[in-house]
């Protein structure tokens, strides 16, 4: 993170994702699926035949029996630019959100500036476009323009606050490149739907074209989930990354 001493603004090109709590395991899927035919089972019973358990999860994923994947929960603390959250909130089924409020606290001057590896140039048309590397001049332009715009916007915000303007009014001048934070809680089925749309992956049977910034968040969430539910994650991948 760079620090602009003159405006006390901070510029970032990353996102952070922290798994703060969870109740999520492959056994949750197995219990939910088998209760309809075998009643409640102990974890020891489920572990007796790991191959059968793997096969059941794969069957449920392949034939899109989705409800067994809902009996779990993961809560993430996410720090990202506001533009990411505006896309994130399109995902409503199976999700709960609480975001920091610019009505009740003074917002910190932390802003998004793309890192050098962020592709800048869009080619093609929606549905068939691709992004390619920008030139050194384009990267320089983006960085300088964003920093200057952020400085001016935050200075205006501070001036209004100093003159007694309400925070909920003054925040209107702040850009979507401002960092915010939120808690996001979901189950595995909702997360798989999110990942199917917000990641690019060679195993996906249906291509997706996510904005890179939300994909950065999605990749970190997927890594956490894969560690909690490895059999479910493997079945998701092997069945084209389509949510059941």
**Annotated catalytic sites, by residue?**
198
Alpha carbon distances (Å) from 51 to 27, 47, 57, 230, 231? 13, 9, 10, 13, 10
Q: At which residue do the structure tokens 């890192």 appear?
A: 115
User: What SS3 state is found at 123?
Assistant: strand
Of 45, 22, 50, 25, give the one whose Cα is nearest residue 35: 45
Q: How far are the Cα atoms of 3, 52, 69 from residue 64, in angstroms, in the given order?
A: 49, 18, 10
Burial label for 108, CB within 10 Å (0-12, 13-18, 19+), is middle
Q: How far apart are CA 197 and CA 82, in angstroms?
A: 19
Alpha-carbon dihedral sign for residues 125, 131, 136, 139: positive
d(CA 76, CA 74): 7
């Amino acid at each position: 993170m760079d620090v602009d001493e003159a405006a006390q603004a901070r510029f970032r090109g990353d996102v952070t994702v922290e798994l703060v709590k969870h109740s999520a395991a492959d056994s949750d899927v197995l219990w939910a699926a088998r209760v309809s035919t075998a009643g409640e089972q102990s974890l020891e019973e489920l572990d007796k035949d790991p191959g059968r358990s793997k096969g059941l999860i794969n069957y449920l994923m392949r034939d899109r029996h989705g409800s067994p994947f809902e009996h779990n929960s993961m809560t993430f603390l996410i720090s990202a630019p506001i533009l990411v959250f505006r896309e994130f909130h399109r995902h409503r089924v199976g999700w709960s959100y609480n975001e920091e409020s610019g009505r009740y606290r003074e917002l910190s001057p932390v802003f998004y500036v793309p890192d050098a590896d962020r592709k800048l140039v869009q080619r093609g048309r929606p549905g068939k476009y691709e992004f390619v590397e920008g030139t050194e001049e384009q990267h320089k332009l983006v960085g300088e323009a964003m920093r200057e715009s952020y400085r001016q916007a935050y200075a205006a915000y501070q001036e209004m606050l100093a003159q007694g303007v309400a925070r909920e009014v003054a925040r209107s001048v702040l850009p979507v490149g401002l960092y915010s934070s939120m808690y996001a809680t979901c189950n595995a089925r909702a997360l798989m739907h999110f990942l199917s749309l917000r990641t690019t992956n060679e195993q996906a049977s249906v291509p997706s074209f996510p904005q890179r910034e939300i994909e950065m968040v999605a990749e970190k969430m997927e890594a956490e989930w894969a560690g909690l539910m490895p059999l479910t994650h493997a079945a998701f991948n092997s069945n084209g990354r389509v949510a059941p």
